[in-house]
Structure 1
Amino acid sequence: MGWKLSDDLLPAKINEDYMMIDLDRGRYLSVNATGTVIIEAIVAGGGIDDAVAAVVKRFEIEEAEAREDVLAFVSWMREKGYLKDGAA
């Protein structure tokens, strides 16, 4: 499944991390290196497996650990309304 960032979220990459502005709520969000890799995979049109592969490659960790991190981050992003289904 493809994902996209919410239209209310304005991302900006600063050095190696993302800073995002939630335009609807007036909040700033800082995303760490792992979140940045996940967001980049998502913005490129990838799904969970693509994000997991990107995290494994970037941080040289086990796939199970990467999958846990990706699923937790995606779940949090969806819960907050920052991540939507690509078809939506």
Structure 2
Amino acid sequence: MGLRLHDHVSTTETEYGLVVLDERTGRYWQLSSSAGLVLSTLARGASVDEAVTALTDRYDVDEARARRDIDTLLVSLRSAGLVKR
């Protein structure tokens, strides 16, 4: 599946996770390191299943919880207008 950010969206890694900036509006979001891992994984073209694996491999979270968290993150990114459909 993968995920594509709009051209007006940029990301920067920090020691606390990932910052996502909407350059049109100046709004930004601070994502946790786990959410940043998911976004980075999907933005590289990986599927949701691959993002689930990346999350469960790195963090102490079961597959069902990882999948729910990823779904929630994707809904938030879409509703904020940060990703292309």
Tell me if both proteins adopt one fold, taking TM over 0.5 as the criterion.
Answer: yes
Highest relative contact order (Cα 8 Å, sep 6+), 1 or 2? Answer: 1
Runs of 4+ off more than 6 Å: none
Identity %: 26
Higher strand share: 1
What residue ranges of structure 1 are gaps of 5+ in the alignment? none
2:62 matches 1:62: yes
Q: Residue 56 of structure 2 aligns to which amino acid in structure 1?
A: V
After TM superposition, the score normalised by the length of structure 2 is 0.89
Aligned length: 85
Partner of 1:9: 9
Taking only aligned residues, the RMSD between alpha carbons, in angstroms, comes to 1.3
Partner of 2:19: 19
Contact 2:8–2:22 (8 Å) recurs in 1: yes
- Structure 1 residues 6-58: Cα deviation after superposition (integer angstroms, max 9, x where no partner): 21111011125111211111112111112111111112211211111111111
